[in-house]
Structure 1
Amino acid sequence: MHKFQDTRTIYRPSDIINDVRREYGVVMSYQKAWKAKECALEDLMGSAEESYAKLARYCYNMGRINTGSAFFIEKDDENRFRYFFMALGQCVRGFRNAMRPLILVDGTTLKARYGGKLIIATCQDANIQIYSLAFGIVDGENDVAMSWFFTKLREVIGDVENLAFVTNRGQSIINGIVEVFPEAHHGYCMHHIQGNLKTRYRGNSVVAFFRRAAKAYSFEEFDKFMVEIDSKSHAAWEYLTEMGIEHWSCASVLTPAQEDKLFKTLDVAGKLESFPRTHAVAVAMHRGLPPHTLCSVYYMTDYWRAAYAETIFPVPNEVEWEVPDHILPLNNLLPPAVGPRTSGRTRTSRIPSTGEFPQPRKCGRCSATGHTRRYCTNQISLHDNVTDV
């Protein structure tokens, strides 16, 4: 029973080999263990081919009990799966009624048999937690696929005033936003930029000054921090300016006239980041004003409750599914075509996004770069005159 003690354990083929040898005294090959695991998973969850064939029926019955939900399935001329988009009505209404008009979009590679790319659109609730808005599965992060995804997203959310997107620097995502949401503001993920600065420009306070520059609303304050970055590392300053400061700086959102008007009154100054500043709260309390009036309504508990007011219902049991005539053509949807497998081992490491610097590997045993502790073969000095071989 030791293999069931930890629910987080990933049962690998090597674990199957060890358990069979320990319990039955039988030695089996890795290939046989891998195939046994695949057969067990198929008996438990069904095959991938069956899942593609059931997709249209699943979506129809999911939408039937969750009103306002949107499901789109795109297929090719051979009736093979191409694209998929899903947005639950409860999430869309929660975004429209109780969320800041800010959408974060990112993608990740699927490691299943038929591959593909999972595209996720999320936002943040009043408690700064992730709030799912829409999902999509496409063949890759390319211009055609991303244009299709953002087109469906626009059909679902409609026109949103002062809409903004935050993404990584993937060119296809950028092109899709420009094409489908030309009026929306587009910013780059601060976490990705900060990670690049940590990788390339270590130990010279560049990251700290970047964070201050990114959060500065005043052009004067922003320029002061950019001068500090330039003095620490001109290469880092060039990196930040070449990507366009309008994509990561709060100061670039305001024109000089707006900035001057913004800082003339204390009441408005207290609303700079939607959260009340300490001095603004003190002045408000002195004047008899409720401090929460200085905070954006998007962070009020009423908006927080409204975001989760509706219940998302699970899909019924398959025996209770309804299958109308208009989805019958998709009843036999085939999985996407899989090209020939390339030589060598399948890549397991993450592919860096556009403009992202790869993180150097550092060994926890010898502190050298280029490898990890698992593959370390360097000699370690135990004492001044003794070497561990």
Structure 2
Amino acid sequence: MVDRLTEIHNMSQDQQMLDNECGWMDMDVPDKETASQQVSSIEVDSTIQLTHSSHARDDGTGFYKEHLTSNNPHAIAKVLGAYFHDRYSESKGPSTKDLRNSIRIELGYKVSYWKVWMDSEIEKSLVRGTHEHGYGVIDAYSHILRTSNSVSKTAVVVDENGRFKCFLVAYGAWILGFAQMRKVIAVDGTFLKSRYCGVLLSAFAQDIENHIFSVAFCVVDSKCDASYKYFFEQMSSFVLDTPKLCIISDRHPSIGKIVSVVFPSAHYGCCMRHLGENIRKDFHNGSVVHHFLRQQKHTMYNIMTINITESINVVLLGEREFPITALFDAINKRFTEIFHERRMIFLDIGTKFVPSMETIIAENTELGNKLLVHQIANYRYIVTGHEVVATADLQSKSCSYRVFVIDKIPCPYAMAALRCQYGEDYGRRIYEYSSLYYTVDAYIMAYVEEIKPISSEDSWQVSIEILERKISPLFIEPGKVGRRSYKRRK
């Protein structure tokens, strides 16, 4: 009996030494039926293997391997993250609820909501980097952006404690292209959904095909006078303060106040859609809004709303929870594609104006041919038709119908006056009385500059001073870090 105990004891020591050398964890040995299961596996970075078995061990190379199945209720979040690695590479990725459903359907594995949420946070940080790292390298990121894209403007502001305050980006392609745009800028701000919050301020123009054209983006700590002042002061270096400039917003009190200081010669207006909604809400009468909008005497190319900025906020809805560098990488990628598409679309077109304007000219010409014209002075005409009597002054390029003034292109009444003034040659004269912003050449010139992508961080070449400058994230109250808490009702 003693010999038998000694033999068992020696076998236990040998087994323990073997386990220490191989890194095996002390666990139940699977039975033959389980061990004989042959299933496919997924290798992720040669470190994590997901299969239909129930082991977890170190294979002696220092790499931890864990197998994910319904038989293993203790799979760590790292393993779950590896399983969904590719789902976070291009976009926001699936929600926690969708992840749970995918695991349950594809693997038959029930996992808690908390573990799946932790999994998604771990994998997002591996794919996009952490929020803290994004703020820490923002100065180096700014340098690489300017190096890759000439004429671009970036600016980073920190407080006295080295904490992040503002980061502005205006690509050189945006700055040069804005010279070909109508000088109407819509400004808006949207709250970021990252753990450190913040606000993404955006300024957009509208090209001649009514597409959004970015002017600048800026991440700030909050919507306040100081943030908007910094934003507009930075834009003033490439947006000229002239009477032709018009800035519209959603009536945020800080915007109107700061515009009058930074751009005193510019016009400032509020978004007609927001104003119309306020009228509908205050007077409880939607029919009033239609009459109100018809009476507006806006003279800036009929751009009266900030829908162009709100539409890009919807496009970047998922990206608003990204780390700051990943957010601007997403902006870079999106506008790189947009610029390439719009630069190529009209290269071989044979018209002088863009297609949308040529269509409007054809429609106005057809309507103008049906109107009665009476000349009252040189270049001045009374035009009658469609229950309207309008006065067209070709010398000042104006018409009492006001569409000519607003759209900067002859309306039907102006078309009738041009036909009477120039006869058969009036078709060529139409382009002389229209804005140059509508030409195909102006459109192509607006998108001729390329937006170059930002290289990966491991290939950055920056000075030691920039690398050593670490910027801390925005300050937030300790209780606000993490997921929002809700008070449950009984």
Q: 2:443 aligns with which of 299, 304, 309?
A: 304
1:348-376, CA deviations, whole angstroms, 9 ceiling, x for partnerless residues? 9xxxxxxxxxxxxxxxxxxxxxxxxxxxx
Report the 3-state secondary structure (helix = DSSP H, G, I; strand = E; otherwise coil) of the residue aligned with 2:187. strand
Deviation, structure 1 residue 24: 3.7
Task: Evaluate the alpha carbon distance shift between residue 161 and residue 89 of structure 1 in structure 2; reply closer, same or farther with a 3 A threshold.
Answer: farther
Q: Contact between 2:243 and 2:265, CA under 8 Å: does it hold in 1?
A: no
Q: Which residue of 1 aligns with 2:474?
A: 336
Q: Which residue of 2 aligns with 1:195?
A: 277
Q: Distance in 1 between matches of 2:155 and 2:447?
A: 24
Q: Contact between 1:84 and 1:137, CA under 8 Å: does it hold in 2?
A: yes
AA in 1 matched with 2:449: E
Residues 1:133 and 2:262 are matched in the alignment: no
Report the 3-state secondary structure (helix = DSSP H, G, I; strand = E; otherwise coil) of the residue aligned with 1:37. helix
Q: How does 1:99-178 map to 2 (within 5 A)?
A: 99-160=181-242, 162-178=244-260
Compare CA radii of gyration and give the structure with the larger one. Answer: 2
Report the 3-state secondary structure (helix = DSSP H, G, I; strand = E; otherwise coil) of the residue aligned with 1:157. coil
Q: Distance in 2 between matches of 1:142 and 1:52?
A: 21
AA in 1 matched with 2:219: I
Task: Evaluate the alpha carbon distance shift between residue 147 and residue 9 of structure 1 in structure 2; reply closer, same or farther with a 3 A threshold.
Answer: closer
Report the 3-state secondary structure (helix = DSSP H, G, I; strand = E; otherwise coil) of the residue aligned with 1:341. helix
1:275-328, CA deviations, whole angstroms, 9 ceiling, x for partnerless residues? 210122233244223222222112222211111111111123334322035534
Residues 1:313 and 2:465 are matched in the alignment: no
Task: Evaluate the alpha carbon distance shift between residue 196 and residue 161 of structure 1 in structure 2; reply closer, same or farther with a 3 A threshold.
Answer: closer
Task: Evaluate the alpha carbon distance shift between residue 10 and residue 67 of structure 1 in structure 2; reply closer, same or farther with a 3 A threshold.
Answer: closer
Q: Which residue of 2 aligns with 1:81?
A: 164
Q: How does 1:35-74 map to 2 (within 5 A)?
A: 35-74=118-157
Q: Distance in 2 between matches of 1:89 and 1:157?
A: 13
Q: Distance in 2 between matches of 1:316 and 1:345?
A: 32
Deviation, structure 1 residue 187: 0.6
- Structure 1 length-normalised TM: 0.69
Q: Contact between 2:187 and 2:248, CA under 8 Å: does it hold in 1?
A: yes
Q: Which residue of 2 aligns with 1:280?
A: 414
Q: How does 1:210-229 map to 2 (within 5 A)?
A: 210-215=292-297
Q: Distance in 2 between matches of 1:89 and 1:23?
A: 47
Q: Contact between 1:108 and 1:118, CA under 8 Å: does it hold in 2?
A: yes
Report the 3-state secondary structure (helix = DSSP H, G, I; strand = E; otherwise coil) of the residue aligned with 2:229. helix
Q: Distance in 1 between matches of 2:246 and 2:105?
A: 57
Residues 1:269 and 2:398 are matched in the alignment: yes
Q: Distance in 1 between matches of 2:193 and 2:269?
A: 29
Report the 3-state secondary structure (helix = DSSP H, G, I; strand = E; otherwise coil) of the residue aligned with 2:140. helix
Report the 3-state secondary structure (helix = DSSP H, G, I; strand = E; otherwise coil) of the residue aligned with 2:478. coil
Deviation, structure 1 residue 203: 5.1
Residues 1:327 and 2:466 are matched in the alignment: yes
Task: Evaluate the alpha carbon distance shift between residue 263 and residue 338 of structure 1 in structure 2; reply closer, same or farther with a 3 A threshold.
Answer: same
Q: How does 1:1-12 map to 2 (within 5 A)?
A: 11-12=94-95
Q: 1:95 aligns with which of 142, 156, 178?
A: 178
Q: Which residue of 1 aligns with 2:327?
A: none
Q: Contact between 1:70 and 1:156, CA under 8 Å: does it hold in 2?
A: no
Identity %: 31
Deviation, structure 1 residue 340: 3.1
Q: Distance in 1 between matches of 2:102 and 2:273?
A: 42
Deviation, structure 1 residue 121: 0.7
Name the stretch that deviates more: 10-19 or 73-82: 10-19
Structure 2 unpaired stretches of 5+: 1-82, 300-389
1:46-81, CA deviations, whole angstroms, 9 ceiling, x for partnerless residues? 111121122222221111121111110001222221
Deviation, structure 1 residue 147: 1.2
Deviation, structure 1 residue 181: 1.5
Report the 3-state secondary structure (helix = DSSP H, G, I; strand = E; otherwise coil) of the residue aligned with 2:296. helix
Deviation, structure 1 residue 45: 1.5
Q: Distance in 2 between matches of 1:172 and 1:110?
A: 19
Task: Evaluate the alpha carbon distance shift between residue 116 and residue 22 of structure 1 in structure 2; reply closer, same or farther with a 3 A threshold.
Answer: same
Report the 3-state secondary structure (helix = DSSP H, G, I; strand = E; otherwise coil) of the residue aligned with 1:214. coil
Deviation, structure 1 residue 159: 4.1
AA in 2 matched with 1:52: Y
AA in 2 matched with 1:114: Y
Q: Distance in 2 between matches of 1:204 and 1:135?
A: 35
Structure 1 unpaired stretches of 5+: 218-261, 349-389
Q: 2:289 aligns with which of 204, 207, 210?
A: 207
Deviation, structure 1 residue 345: 8.1
Q: 1:34 aligns with which of 114, 117, 122?
A: 117
Task: Evaluate the alpha carbon distance shift between residue 329 and residue 160 of structure 1 in structure 2; reply closer, same or farther with a 3 A threshold.
Answer: farther
Task: Evaluate the alpha carbon distance shift between residue 203 and residue 10 of structure 1 in structure 2; reply closer, same or farther with a 3 A threshold.
Answer: farther
Q: Distance in 1 between matches of 2:413 and 2:405?
A: 12
AA in 2 matched with 1:169: R
Q: Distance in 1 between matches of 2:245 and 2:466?
A: 34
Q: Contact between 1:126 and 1:301, CA under 8 Å: does it hold in 2?
A: no
Aligned alpha-carbon RMSD (Å)? 3.0
Report the 3-state secondary structure (helix = DSSP H, G, I; strand = E; otherwise coil) of the residue aligned with 1:19. helix
Q: Contact between 1:101 and 1:161, CA under 8 Å: does it hold in 2?
A: no
AA in 2 matched with 1:149: F
- Structure 2 length-normalised TM: 0.56
Deviation, structure 1 residue 35: 0.8
Q: Contact between 1:141 and 1:173, CA under 8 Å: does it hold in 2?
A: no
Matched length: 299
Q: Distance in 2 between matches of 1:92 and 1:120?
A: 14
Deviation, structure 1 residue 198: 3.6
Report the 3-state secondary structure (helix = DSSP H, G, I; strand = E; otherwise coil) of the residue aligned with 1:41. helix
Deviation, structure 1 residue 207: 1.6
- Greater RCO between the two (CA within 8 Å, min separation 6)? 1
Report the 3-state secondary structure (helix = DSSP H, G, I; strand = E; otherwise coil) of the residue aligned with 1:17. helix
Report the 3-state secondary structure (helix = DSSP H, G, I; strand = E; otherwise coil) of the residue aligned with 1:83. strand
